[in-house]
Structure 1
Amino acid sequence: MILEWSETALEELAARYGQDARTWKLVSDSEGCGCAMNGVAALWLIEEPDTGDLQAGSNGVEVWYEKRHEVFFDERMRVSYDPSKRAFKLASDGQIYSNRLRLEDRRNKEE
C-alpha cells in the first residue's frame, strides 16, 4: 500500500498537530457504524504502531495499517488538503474514500 501526500496536506498536518506528528495509522473505522463492513476511512495519530501492523509506503510521514483493513483500500492512494473546506481528502484513481477525511489524535497525552 502506498499513500502519496500533497505538500499542502503535509503542511496542514504539521500546523494542526505539530512537527512531531509523524506516525499515523490508516483505518477503516467502524466504531458506531453498527457493522464491521461499513467502516469509514480515518487516520489516527499514534505514538507507535501495534505489533503486527504493516507499514505503507508514504512520503513525509509514516503510515501504518492493520492487515485486516487492507481489503478496504486500493494499493495506491493520495491524501490532499482543500483549504477552502479545511478538509483532507483520501482518494485513489478508482474512488474517493472521503472528501472530509477524519484525523484523530490517539497519542497518549499523559506525561
Structure 2
Amino acid sequence: MEIMITSAAAEKLNERINGTEGYLKLKYDIDGCGCAVSGVFALWYVPELDSDDMTIETNERTIYMEKSKTVFFDEKMKIDFSSASNSFQLKSPQQILNGYMSLVLKGKTD
C-alpha cells in the first residue's frame, strides 16, 4: 500500500497536532454505521496503537492502519487538504474515498 501526503495536508496536520505525542491512524470507522461495509474513512491521532495496527511509511510521516481493514482501502492513495471545505480528503486514482475527512484527536479515555 502506498500513501502520499500533500504539502497542504502535512502543514495542516502539523498545525492541528502541534507537538502532541501520538500516532496518526487512517481508520475505516464502522462505529454506528450498522455493518462493516458501511464504514467511513477517517484520520485519528491516538495516544496508543492497537495490536492489529500495521505501519505505512509515507513521504511525510508514518501512518498506521488496522490490518484487518485494509481491504476497504485502495492500493495507492493521497491525503490532501481542501481549504475551501476546511477538511482533509482521501483520494485514489480511481475515486474520492472521503472528500470531507476530519482529524479526530483521541485521548486515553476515548
Tell me, yes or no, if structure 1 residue 89 matches structure 2 residue 89.
Answer: yes
1:108 aligned partner: 108
1:23 aligned partner: 23
How far did residue 79 of structure 1 move?
0.5
2:74 aligned partner: 74
Gaps of 5+ in 2: none
TM-score, normalised with respect to structure 1: 0.87
Q: Residues 47 and 22 from structure 1, CA distance in 2 versus in 1: closer, same or farther, beyond 3 angstroms?
A: closer
**AA paired with 1:29?**
D
Q: Residues 104 and 62 from structure 1, CA distance in 2 versus in 1: closer, same or farther, beyond 3 angstroms?
A: same
Aligned length in residues: 109
1:39 aligned partner: 39
Higher strand share: 2
Q: Residues 3 and 21 from structure 1, CA distance in 2 versus in 1: closer, same or farther, beyond 3 angstroms?
A: farther
Root-mean-square deviation over aligned CA pairs:
1.7
How far did residue 22 of structure 1 move?
6.0
Q: Residues 22 and 10 from structure 1, CA distance in 2 versus in 1: closer, same or farther, beyond 3 angstroms?
A: farther
Gaps of 5+ in 1: none
CA deviation vs aligned residue, 1:46-98 (integer Å, no higher than 9, x gap):
12322231111212222111111110001110011111211111000011111
